[in-house]
Chains A and B, each alone.
Chain A
């Protein structure tokens, strides 16, 4: 049984930020991300902080999915609609305490969240 649905955010300019990021990372990161999404889709109650974290501060309202590949840490950024059990993916990055790759990943994702809140752009089921 699928508990959650995942969506890609499509900007007004028809770009797909999560797929754009996916295309830039190595196969092992792609595979880990694919399995993570499928795992969470099949998990009724997500576990925090191991699987996801709600962001605070200037990124309040966003959520990050957490995964590791070897020693490297990655984040998939998005918006969670817990009531509907939907997650809209806005971007991704490699993340350490000191830096992110790409460096503006969180701010860029937050900008997309704002656009989504304003009902600009669209969403498409994540494949």
Chain B
């Protein structure tokens, strides 16, 4: 069997699908919620080495309810049940509105490891040892741009990279996504524009405070 070398999903791949239609975006958000809350409950329970019966007892629910809550296809999970399960896991469930860029990023990094949340007991142990501190306020990276250079943050690696301005676009780039890292209130960078690469374009003049997003579609 021949295996072609192809990239796995990148943020650009996800964004391309989200951009395709409003209906897909809505369905994607719904599917994430319906499938990934059960996924997270399973992953958290397994990591705490609890049986469904044990979690049920702590959450004041029945084992059958936990079993259904862990079934992505069940489809009738109520907020009240989720909150009781959070209580059983001794952590918080925070339902909040989020931009699609954050959802896409979370989707790409999804795994049983990345959804883990410590219990209050674990956090309290750290607190008593003086090792628990409030999470630092997320400061959006400031993009420093001059006529010659622009500093951008790679969406994939979160590393700052200095690139010449105007930017030389990589030969294989097909899509250009511009992100403004200076906006947002803790919800992540804002997508300014995403469009197919203009034909015949090899350089791009970046406005101040705008960075090129993800997927390796930037040149240097």
Footprint of B on A, CB under 8 Å?
A: 1-3, 5, 7, 10, 26-28, 30-32, 34-36, 38-39, 41-44, 47, 50-51, 66-68, 70, 116, 119, 122-125, 127
The residues in B between 1 and 15 inclusive whose CB is less than 8 angstroms from any CB of A are: 1-4, 6-9, 13
Q: Is B127 an interface residue (CB 8 A)?
A: no
Footprint of A on B, CB under 8 Å?
A: 1-4, 6-9, 13, 17, 21, 23-24, 26-28, 30-32, 34-36, 39, 42, 71-73, 75, 107-108, 110-114
What are 10 pairs between A and B in contact, CB < 8 Å? Answer: A3-B111, A27-B24, A31-B24, A31-B31, A35-B28, A41-B111, A42-B111, A50-B71, A122-B1, A127-B13
The answer, among A26, A38, A50, for a CB contact under 8 Å with B110, is A38
The listed residue with most A CB atoms (<10 A of its CB), out of B4, B13, B26, is B4
In angstroms, how far is the closest chain B Cβ from the Cβ of A29?
Answer: 8
Are A42 and B73 interface neighbours, CB within 8 A?
A: no
Are A42 and B114 interface neighbours, CB within 8 A?
A: yes
Are B3 and A123 interface neighbours, CB within 8 A?
A: yes
* Chain A, interface SS category: mixed
The answer, among A7, A35, A66, A116, for a CB contact under 8 Å with B73, is A66
Cα–Cα, bound, A34→B13 (Å): 11
The listed residue with most B CB atoms (<10 A of its CB), out of A3, A26, A27, A43, is A27
Are A7 and B35 interface neighbours, CB within 8 A?
A: no
With A36-B35, A66-B73 known to touch, is A42 a contact of B110 (CB < 8 Å)?
yes
Cα–Cα, bound, A38→B36 (Å): 10
Q: Which residue of A lies closest to B16 (CB)?
A: A127
In angstroms, how far is the closest chain A Cβ from the Cβ of B35?
Answer: 5
Are B7 and A30 interface neighbours, CB within 8 A?
A: no
Are A119 and B1 interface neighbours, CB within 8 A?
A: yes
Q: Which residues of B contact A3 (CB under 8 A)?
A: 111-112
Are A68 and B3 interface neighbours, CB within 8 A?
A: no
